Structure 1
Amino acid sequence: MSSSVPSWPPLTPAERAVAIEVLTKGPSSRSEIARRLGMSGGSLTRLAKPLIDSGLLLEVIAPPATGAGQGRPGQPLDIVTDPWHFVGLKITGDAVYGVVTTLKSTVVRRETRPLETHEPEAVADVAHSIVRSVATEFPQLAGVGVGIGGEVRDRAVIVDSPYLHWREVTFAELLEQRTDLPVVLENDVAALVESETWFGAGRGLDRFAVLTIGAGIGYGLVIGGKQVRAPDWSEAGKHWILDPNGPLTPEGRRGSAASLLTIPSIEYQVRAATGSAVGFEEILELARRQDPAASRVIDEAARALGVLLAQIAHFTLPEKIVLAGEGVGLVDVAGRTITDTIASHRHPQAGPVPLETKISDFHDWARGAAVLAIQVLVLGGTDGG
């Protein structure tokens, strides 16, 4: 694999701001871009010219005006996506999920490889096999983003991953040695939040939150368009106590978000009640059919989720809460219980919680990791946007 990695041309901070604005917001007129960046139209025109001349931006041919008296419409500016492609990888305890995306994070290919061992060198080999496979179709790869459940340091070292039982693993280095490409490593929830900020449900918002439910609980907060980070943030979600009298499960403290909302805990509760091992999707179906044990567990989880969403709304005042992850099927089965619980924990005159639910699979998480690689190319570093 070639070690020649494409890069953006050298840009001034103002030129880079214009390019990022077009990349993340989509085709826009000069007047729209100038307004959003708080600059004059003349300044925007001067900044846009070298970006067009360098081949980074292009002028989109606008349709002719049809109304009487309308002048010639301005030509929107768009980003040139060729020749860059990016690989995103999501590593779970069972498999490596990979995607290839364009510069605008559009997924153009998906791959999955099972894991037979958690030994770091072997996992790096599996990840490399995905990169090597997709490089035959997309030879101009600009970088690799990797998302993993656990604590990550300096976007390079896995400090602790409970799903892989890793501590202090320099995984970015292992993969860079194999792929000859820049690799950026991040907690999977943080990667998903970056993806939603640049290209997803949070695009253009000043303040929003992301809550994920699945194998674990994840939470991210964006203020002023930037993700809020703290040393213990990645573990915060699982310790929210939502019902002090709630269930005690192997995951999380009694009545915590982890014990009430994670898929393993929901499956554990149904197994403890019935003696049968039942998967999450089957539990949801049983609850739809009003099976007593499944209905009780799902109803309890729905009330817990409603409390949690109300608390997030109270204390972060978000413009939107994005609910994602493999466990969001809970909303389809028990959505009324969730909304009623939110309402019961809010002031009667409070507005509705702005909630957007996104059904996610592991390739969606991999797409979030690809956005990390996009940011490295665009921003010129690995410390995030």
Structure 2
Amino acid sequence: MLDGSAQRVAVEVLRFGPLPRAQLARRLGLSPGSLTRLTRPLVDSGLLVEGSPENGPDGPGRTGRPSLPLDIRASSRRFLGVKITGDAVFAVVTDLRATVLAEHTAPLPDPGPAAVVAAVADVVRPLQAAHPDVRGLGVGIGGLVVERRDVARAHFLGWREPVRLADLLAAATGLPTVVDNDVRALTAAEHWFGPGRGMRSLLVITIGAGLGCGIVVHDRVVEGAHGGGGTIGHRPVVTWAVCEDGHRGCAHGLVSSRAISGAVAQAVGRPVTYAEALQLAADGHAAARRVVDDAAGALGVLVADVATLVDPELVILTGDGIGLVEVARPAFDTALRENRKEPLAPPRVDVRPFPFTEWARGAAAVAVQEHVLGAAAAT
């Protein structure tokens, strides 16, 4: 972990590099002499490199050192990221910029805390052996996570009491460990290393078995006083739908993959998967089309509502249920446009495909942040 001004230099180059020295000094309000003093030990340690990282500290890029840009040597550090679902553990190894270098997936046979810790340790072990220079472990979990350490509640695992998951996993793996809500972790990766790079305000909304939202305001991910920042699944969007928890009109009861597949199954008189429900709608089945368009419209209302509150530079829509927007984009766009409050224009929306390894990559990004910033300065 770095301290003070050296930390500011490393973070700026990590997020926005390569940067010429003069530009970096201006961005940080440092004199050229102060910047040289701060960067010398970072270069000597191998964390920063002058010129192209491919040239290396001893390569041809050393000539004329002061005029060369500074960049992070992304390969100088390795991090592990893990995403815990109800039935599987997804793990990746990344470099300092959260580029995935290796991945591994294993089933989760038991959702109890002790079994989850054992399963994570088991999936991490071969990756640790192949990458002994790993500096930290990040874990993403769907639930209420406090201060990137303790899971206060994880409904999908049946956890009703607090679990000190970071401490348990640190003891099981021997690695510094940080835990975060999975959507917030994904938001951290998109903010630092994805399309939200350089933006001070951002929304990441995920669609799937539930709905999640990561919020960036003033260049910081919103965690909330009790770890609940970005909880949007039960925000009301209509008056007639009822979710499985009995909430009338909430987004979860209309937009979640289970709600859509259940409504289409009722309409066609047989069980259907989420993928089948979307395909029926795409093929022109009238009842399925109506269900999917209603869901996409409700999502548009939800996005407009949250975007009006935050006024973000960008909204990223993703998740394993993102096919909803692909099949019913006109219904989504219409609802978004009609429900965005004047004088604000509809926000820019980026619909992104979503492999499950992205969740694990997000967790690794949180581990990167913890490494360079420390828990007290988590972004």
Distance of 1:229 and 1:50 partners within structure 2: 33
Specify the alignment match of 2:8 in structure 1. Answer: 17
Specify the alignment match of 1:36 in structure 2. Answer: 27
Alignment of 1:183-194 (within 5 A): 183-194=177-188
Specify the alignment match of 2:235 in structure 1. Answer: 240
Aligned length: 368
Specify the alignment match of 1:104 in structure 2. Answer: 97
Q: 1:152: how far off?
A: 1.6
Specify the alignment match of 1:176 in structure 2. Answer: 170
- Does residue 1:322 correspond to 2:313, yes or no? no
Q: After superposition, give the CA deviation of every residue in 1:323-374 in whole Å (9 maximum; x if it has no partner).
A: 1211111121111111122222236764341111222232111111111111
- Does residue 1:51 correspond to 2:38, yes or no? no
Q: Aligned in 2, Cα 1:185/1:289: closer, same or farther, shift over 3 Å?
A: same
Q: Aligned in 2, Cα 1:235/1:38: closer, same or farther, shift over 3 Å?
A: closer
Report the 3-state secondary structure (helix = DSSP H, G, I; strand = E; otherwise coil) of the residue aligned with 1:87. Answer: strand
Which segment drifts farther, 234-243 or 288-297?
234-243
Which segment drifts farther, 16-25 or 263-272?
263-272
Which of residues 237, 249, 254 is equivalent to 1:255?
A: 249
Q: Aligned in 2, Cα 1:309/1:120: closer, same or farther, shift over 3 Å?
A: same
- Does residue 1:116 correspond to 2:109, yes or no? yes
Q: 1:88: how far off?
A: 0.6
Specify the alignment match of 2:124 in structure 1. Answer: 131
Q: 1:114: how far off?
A: 0.7
Specify the alignment match of 1:298 in structure 2. Answer: 292
Specify the alignment match of 1:3 in structure 2. Answer: none
Contact 1:239 1:252 in 2 (8 A): no
Report the 3-state secondary structure (helix = DSSP H, G, I; strand = E; otherwise coil) of the residue aligned with 1:233. Answer: coil
Q: Aligned in 2, Cα 1:72/1:59: closer, same or farther, shift over 3 Å?
A: closer
- Does residue 1:377 correspond to 2:371, yes or no? yes
Which segment drifts farther, 104-113 or 200-209?
200-209
Q: After superposition, give the CA deviation of every residue in 1:18-63 in whole Å (9 maximum; x if it has no partner).
A: 111111113121123223323344443343233223322111159x
Q: Aligned in 2, Cα 1:362/1:252: closer, same or farther, shift over 3 Å?
A: farther
Distance of 2:329 and 2:31 partners within structure 1: 47
- Does residue 1:289 correspond to 2:280, yes or no? no
Distance of 1:235 and 1:370 partners within structure 2: 20
Distance of 1:237 and 1:359 partners within structure 2: 21
Specify the alignment match of 1:65 in structure 2. Answer: none
Q: Which runs of 5+ in 2 are unaligned?
A: 54-63
Distance of 1:280 and 1:36 partners within structure 2: 48
Which of residues 186, 189, 201 is equivalent to 1:195?
A: 189
Which of residues 294, 303, 316 is equivalent to 1:309?
A: 303
Contact 2:222 2:229 in 1 (8 A): no
- Does residue 1:341 correspond to 2:335, yes or no? yes
Contact 1:154 1:383 in 2 (8 A): no
Which of residues 136, 149, 168 is equivalent to 1:156?
A: 149
Distance of 1:235 and 1:202 partners within structure 2: 17
Distance of 1:157 and 1:206 partners within structure 2: 27
Distance of 1:329 and 1:48 partners within structure 2: 46
Report the 3-state secondary structure (helix = DSSP H, G, I; strand = E; otherwise coil) of the residue aligned with 1:126. Answer: helix
Q: Normalised by the size of structure 1, how large is the TM-score?
A: 0.89
Q: 1:153: how far off?
A: 2.5
Distance of 1:382 and 1:348 partners within structure 2: 38
Contact 2:50 2:69 in 1 (8 A): yes
CA RMSD of the aligned region, Å?
2.3
**Aligned residue type for 2:144:** E
Q: Aligned in 2, Cα 1:35/1:134: closer, same or farther, shift over 3 Å?
A: same
Q: Aligned in 2, Cα 1:205/1:235: closer, same or farther, shift over 3 Å?
A: closer
Contact 1:249 1:268 in 2 (8 A): no
Q: 1:314: how far off?
A: 1.8
Distance of 1:197 and 1:252 partners within structure 2: 34
Distance of 2:228 and 2:243 partners within structure 1: 22
Contact 1:151 1:234 in 2 (8 A): no
Contact 1:155 1:382 in 2 (8 A): no
Q: 1:301: how far off?
A: 0.7
Overall identity of the aligned pairs, in %: 42
Distance of 1:142 and 1:232 partners within structure 2: 25
Report the 3-state secondary structure (helix = DSSP H, G, I; strand = E; otherwise coil) of the residue aligned with 1:327. Answer: coil
**Aligned residue type for 1:15:** A
Q: 1:131: how far off?
A: 1.1
Q: Which runs of 5+ in 1 are unaligned?
A: 1-7, 63-70
Contact 1:184 1:382 in 2 (8 A): no
